[in-house]
Amino acid sequence: MAGTYAVELRNVTKRYNELVAVNNLNLNIDKGEIFGILGPNGSGKSTTLKMLLGLLQPDEGNVNVLGIDSRVDPVGVKRLVGYAPEAPHLYEFLTGIEFLDFIGDIYGMQAEEKRSRINEYLKALQLEGREGDMISSYSEGMKQKIALIAAFLHKPKLLILDEPLNALDPRSARIVKDFLQQLKNQGVTTIMSTHILEIAQAVCDRIGIMYQGKLLALGNMEELRKMASLPNSALEDIFLKLTGTGDIKAVVEELVK
């Protein structure tokens, strides 16, 4: 049964032995929303994304993605979702075009549509002329572009992007940001984890701040400003205050002694 939301997390907990990586997380993400997940290292962001993908199963609670219980039908979730990890592991013995052909075939794309979309994305991200080169010869930025094309290729209804603009040049980053806005207008949901707070502030409709496995704050920029009692402030100041890491002056002074 299709749900009202693109993503529903209910009382989700994930443990690694004694470590509680995600602690009783409740979260709804609307269809067609660009949602940002922020948090310091070890806050539970990547574990949450992997549970949405069905790569990890929660120890407690329910994960519902596009109306599908990810525990019951993880393959069904993967058919509808595009994923670009923070550090993509590509088949470096393939050329760029061979890899993207392979991805299109996995999703059962028709040959004509597959080739058309691959060519369109290669051109937009300035990879034309390099698609026949081995991926092992690509720069980190080029590998990131290939990973993003692989995530977009099958027209997913939900995009999960972990640090999607890492290693991208400014032009490519702008293209990706504008493309996400176009997908939003088509009803596609994007969940983005990023440590570049300016990007989250500029792109995301709502932001969830995770800390020590819990959802510390949730809302749009105005709502987050009210929570932090920081009117007119940037997301960086809000993030530092809410996570209790705002008092960094003394740390810096110690470092320069």
Parallel, antiparallel, or unpaired: how do β-strands 19-29 and 158-162 relate? unpaired
Per residue of the chain (257 residues), what is the pLDDT tens digit? 455 799 999 999 999 999 999 999 999 999 999 999 998 888 999 899 999 998 999 999 999 999 999 989 989 999 999 999 888 889 999 999 999 999 999 999 999 999 999 999 999 999 999 999 999 999 999 999 999 999 999 999 999 999 888 888 888 888 888 999 999 999 999 999 988 888 899 899 999 999 999 999 999 999 999 999 999 899 988 988 888 765 556 656 666 66
Pick the CATH number of 7-255 from 3.30.1300.10, 3.40.50.300, 3.40.50.150, 3.40.50.1100: 3.40.50.300
Instruction: Output the CA torsion sign for 234, 235, 240, 241.
Output: positive
Question: pLDDT tens for residues 95-109?
Answer: 999 999 999 999 999
Cα separation, 64 vs 142, whole angstroms: 33
* Cα-based distances in Å from 54 to 21, 69, 124: 16, 9, 31
* pLDDT for res 195: 81
- Say how many C-beta atoms besides its own lie within 10 A of residue 228's C-beta: 19
pTM of the predicted structure, to 2 decimals: 0.89
For residue 75, the Cα-to-chain-centroid distance in whole angstroms is 19
HSE of 170, CA atoms in CB hemisphere, 13 A: 0
Domain parsing of the chain, residue ranges: 7-255
Burial bucket for residue 70 (CB in 10 Å: 0-12, 13-18, 19+)? buried
Question: Which among 104, 138, 105 is positioned nearest to 121, based on CA atoms?
Answer: 104
